[in-house]
Amino acid sequence: ETGVTQTPRHLVMGMTNKKSLKCEQHLGHNAMYWYKQSAKKPLELMFVYSLEERVENNSVPSRFSPECPNSSHLFLHLHTLQPEDSALYLCASSLTGGPTSTDTQYFGPGTRLTVL
Amino acid sequence: GQQVMQIPQYQHVQEGEDFTTYCNSSTTLSNIQWYKQRPGGHPVFLIQLVKSGEVKKQKRLTFQFGEAKKNSSLHITATQTTDVGTYFCAGSRYSTLTFGKGTMLLVSP
């Protein structure tokens, strides 16, 4: 499946590093999402963008900074992360989005992040 | 806030046995979706249920949405090793999808 791509697939970073995760969708969707998946926890929604505007931010620490320059691209900028931020970060897209959207979500392969 | 709970967290079956995972919401849902995540993979959409009491089938998989639209189940008949993975339900009511913790299914040949 190549509808939603994510780079890099694996990332190891120190707590003082700055890095960015990239997501691109080729489905013509208008909404994009960042999720965090940790072991033994449900998928945690971090950010939702609809038509490039952020519509939901579930109280994510400021060391995570999203950017959505257009409806096809989504970034997650990382700065001074903690070891407990190590997880699989999944990007998803849907046809429409926002607080009342229940459209099917198409997930990317994820970025496996390890913070040392 | 809205909570979606899934049970069991984990199940190990012999190939050919049936499997069921249950999803329960603290609030009435507008719809429920099911996703499957293979080991090392990402969640992939399986199906969406919208109507009260709805039942849908995909080959050996049967999905049900409760009459009160607060619970759902996924039943797999005669499991195969290819069914291995984690099955997530995700429900929504006036907000973006809330995922359950998932049920991890292991199938031994």
**A-contacting residues of B 38-57, CB under 8 Å?**
41-45, 48
Give me the pLDDT at residue A43, please: 86
Give me the pLDDT at residue A100, please: 55
The pLDDT of B56-80, averaged and rounded, is: 97
pLDDT tens-digit series, residues A85-113: 999 999 999 988 655 556 788 999 999 99
Helical spans, DSSP H, in A1-116: none
**A interface with B, Cβ–Cβ below 8 Å:** 1, 33, 40-43, 45, 48, 56, 90, 97-102, 104-110
pLDDT tens-digit series, residues A58-72: 789 999 999 999 999
The pLDDT of A35-41, averaged and rounded, is: 86
Give me the pLDDT at residue A116, please: 92
Structure tokens that stand for B10 in this block: 């984990």
B109/A contact by beta carbon, under 8 A: no
Give me the pLDDT at residue B12, please: 97
Position with higher pLDDT, A51 vs A81: A81
Question: Strands B103-108 and B85-92: what pairing?
Answer: antiparallel
Give me the pLDDT at residue A56, please: 77
Q: Do residue A107 and residue B42 have CB atoms under 8 angstroms apart?
A: yes
Name residue B58's amino acid: Q
**DSSP state letter for B102:** -
Position with higher pLDDT, A82 vs B93: A82
Whether residue B30 contacts residue B45, with contact meaning beta carbons closer than 8 Å, is answered with no
pLDDT tens-digit series, residues B22-31: 999 989 998 8
User: What share of chain A in percent tops pLDDT 70?
Assistant: 92
CA A66 to CA A69: how far, in whole Å? 10
User: Of A89-103, B13-27, B79-93, where does mean pLDDT reach its minimum?
Assistant: A89-103
Predicted confidence band of residue B103 (pLDDT cuts 50, 70, 90): very high
Give me the pLDDT at residue B51, please: 93
